[in-house]
Structure 1
């Protein structure tokens, strides 16, 4: 797209310049043929440099075309860091997160990745932290001080049960409170919930319960706050509970449905490296936005370079400026 397309009318002038050049060449040739003595003509006329003598004017015309396009204000989409957004990390701290199918354990790997995410998240984005097991705990209200989240992540402790819906509802409440402080939902910065869990919701039994995960996801959809879910772990994970080995396979299906119902994205990760890659992708989606802006600089640089090359070519080939 162009912001000032009318400048392209100058291309007509460039075309006229090219036509005038061809016309002047023909006129010069006709005048030269009026000499009766061709031997005398060869002695007074400069040596024929062939087609190479037209190179300077060709470069000049290209330069003028490029500079005309620059004047017309070409636009381009580019990614720029967000200066305002809200992200709430919602982390599962149920006992199943103690499984060691992810080294050194699911919870330790999740903590490591969450701190790395906080470190690399674009400055200016408000980051909050919710943990949930049988209930949800609001550990850090959204703040641009990402170090606060890193400190809180290190203090996470495991507990019984998994109340995924409560975690999402708590995150929605955090975002609503921040938006109220910022002046209401009108003009509020974009928000995203990032939910990391490894298992199926156990409290309540039905995810469609008023406090269930699916109900919370639908509420997030209503408030236009997508929930990106990360299913972390493997299907072979186990934990030791009261001396018994209990299988704790990841539950991709429910986490995928939460993401779909809320309008978010679903990810899987079976190792710390995979989890870091997921967070990197989320950082790219959340931390940057696409804006359309002026893209005339490359055209201006190219046009200027062609003009300079044209001038040097004219001096070297024709011993004069075009």
Structure 2
């Protein structure tokens, strides 16, 4: 714990003076002169209630200590739900997901586990959904609407290819829309030739005109934002978002997986990776076992580079347990948080309690 305004802690030195002042006031207060036939009877009647007169001042003293302590603005590491947090689910929908080594199929098991994961997350956490195969799509922007997410998960369509790196970049573009990340530009570049005719052998004005056309750019290219230059931060230091990547294969197209992982690491975004299926590969009817082989070393490296974790899920039950584990990991973060308001609230409640007890027992606030 530390304090934003530690100089205010000096005010706590005045706290020991408050009990001294209280005792002085008690002695100074004159006793009412009342005649009784027996003083012993009066003492016996009030002996059991003498402690009550000291309870409200004691509570008020503790409240004053709390307010002075809060004035120093203490900051402590406390477990709190993420504020404005977003989780991007990136799920593989390549054709190998139809294999039934994970029952009933890899895709069905992944869909059910993802829906279970959503049900375990706090309602205040936004979730976005990205699917990837040969191409990558944002099928649901980050939202609190769990029903919309479940509908999108149930509507998955399988495709050929596996662009793992594109899935990471697409998730980052959703988390950082102002960074100018363009998956298409990173995959295919911008080397289109708008001239189409003429070459090195052309001469005269026609050749020069063709050259000018070949260097022209479309209006879309001119207004496209350039990628934002960022200052790399520590991997895993961005606590407002995370990416959960599920894949059963290896990259066959698109952005290099480790290049995409570095982009996530530079932005401090953790990537939690779930590897699904077999590591050794399995034959299909079309005889392409390479597309069924899980690229576990690369996926582990993605998790390591970004400060995330890697989990291998070889069965439907294991897949569900992995998602439950991830749910518990991303719900709460221990963060340095100013607790001034909590301490001040506690002090105010103590002061109100002291006033209420004084009115109840003594018919006055004293």
TM range (shorter): 0.5 to 0.7
- Counterpart CA distance in 2 for 1:303 and 1:178 is 49
- Counterpart CA distance in 2 for 1:81 and 1:49 is 57
Paired residue for 1:198, among 227, 248, 253? Answer: 248
Paired residue for 1:67, among 63, 66, 71? Answer: 63
Partner in structure 2 of residue 304 of structure 1? 352
SS at match of 2:91: strand
Deviations 1:103-147 (A, max 9, x none): 433211222333455565645846241323xx2312336343755
- Counterpart CA distance in 2 for 1:151 and 1:321 is 61
Q: CA deviation at 1:189?
A: 10
Contact 2:303 2:310 in 1 (8 A): yes
Partner in structure 2 of residue 216 of structure 1? 260
User: Are residues 160 and 121 of structure 1, via their aligned partners in 2, closer, same or farther at CA, if it must alter by over 3 Å?
Assistant: farther
Contact 1:228 1:264 in 2 (8 A): yes
Q: CA deviation at 1:262?
A: 1.9
Q: CA deviation at 1:68?
A: 0.8
In structure 2, runs of 5+ residues without a counterpart are: 181-224, 231-237
User: Are residues 314 and 176 of structure 1, via their aligned partners in 2, closer, same or farther at CA, if it must alter by over 3 Å?
Assistant: closer
- Counterpart CA distance in 1 for 2:229 and 2:151 is 29
Contact 1:127 1:145 in 2 (8 A): no
Q: CA deviation at 1:217?
A: 1.1
- Give the structure-1-normalised TM-score: 0.67
Paired residue for 2:285, among 232, 242, 267? Answer: 242
Matched, 1:55 2:51: yes
Partner in structure 2 of residue 31 of structure 1? none
Partner in structure 1 of residue 113 of structure 2? 113
User: Are residues 234 and 43 of structure 1, via their aligned partners in 2, closer, same or farther at CA, if it must alter by over 3 Å?
Assistant: farther
| Match runs of 1:102-181 below 5 Å | 102-117=102-117, 120=121, 122=123, 125=126, 127-132=128-133, 135-140=134-139, 142-144=141-143, 146=145, 149-177=149-177, 179=179
Contact 1:98 1:105 in 2 (8 A): yes
- Counterpart CA distance in 1 for 2:58 and 2:312 is 52
SS at match of 1:138: strand
- Counterpart CA distance in 2 for 1:321 and 1:193 is 57
Deviations 1:217-250 (A, max 9, x none): 12221233322212345779x8662198979676
- Counterpart CA distance in 2 for 1:227 and 1:276 is 14
Contact 1:136 1:170 in 2 (8 A): no
Q: CA deviation at 1:284?
A: 1.0
User: Are residues 112 and 229 of structure 1, via their aligned partners in 2, closer, same or farther at CA, if it must alter by over 3 Å?
Assistant: same
Contact 1:99 1:105 in 2 (8 A): yes
In structure 1, runs of 5+ residues without a counterpart are: 29-39, 205-209
- Counterpart CA distance in 2 for 1:189 and 1:99 is 36
Deviations 1:260-296 (A, max 9, x none): 112323345452531441342355158x977434102
SS at match of 1:16: helix
SS at match of 1:203: coil
RMSD between aligned alpha carbons? 4.7
Contact 1:86 1:142 in 2 (8 A): no
- Counterpart CA distance in 2 for 1:196 and 1:164 is 9
User: Are residues 58 and 176 of structure 1, via their aligned partners in 2, closer, same or farther at CA, if it must alter by over 3 Å?
Assistant: closer
Paired residue for 1:20, among 19, 24, 39? Answer: 24
Contact 1:88 1:128 in 2 (8 A): yes
